[in-house]
């Protein structure tokens, strides 16, 4: 089934691109928070999908979960903005 394998590969590439785009849109806001909140630069923004395999059919909605930590502790009430 080369067609199915190719479709799965293409979907994974598309999802990876969307994840990178989302992360790149959010990072300027995260860096602004890091500068305002403290001198620590140990912020980590983790972006995951609602499905472990991250496989979606065309037209399906992808839900992203964002987790922001500072020094491995959850950041509460953070204002994360994209441009």
pLDDT of residue 42: 83
- Whether residue 28 contacts residue 45, with contact meaning beta carbons closer than 8 Å, is answered with no
pLDDT digits over 24-82, tens only?
656 665 555 545 555 677 888 888 989 888 898 889 898 988 888 888 999 887 776 76
pLDDT of residue 43: 84
pLDDT of residue 82: 67
Output the six-digit token pair for 82: 């994209």
Quickly count: other Cβ atoms within 10 Å of residue 55's Cβ: 13
């Amino acid at each position: 089934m080369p067609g199915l394998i190719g479709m799965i590969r293409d979907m994974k590439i598309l999802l990876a691109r969307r994840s990178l785009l989302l992360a790149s849109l959010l990072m300027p806001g995260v860096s602004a928070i890091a500068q305002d909140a403290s001198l620590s630069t140990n912020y980590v923004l983790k972006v995951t999908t609602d499905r472990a395999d991250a496989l979606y059919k065309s037209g399906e909605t992808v839900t992203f979960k964002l987790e922001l930590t500072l020094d491995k502790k959850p950041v509460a009430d953070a204002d994360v903005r994209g441009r």
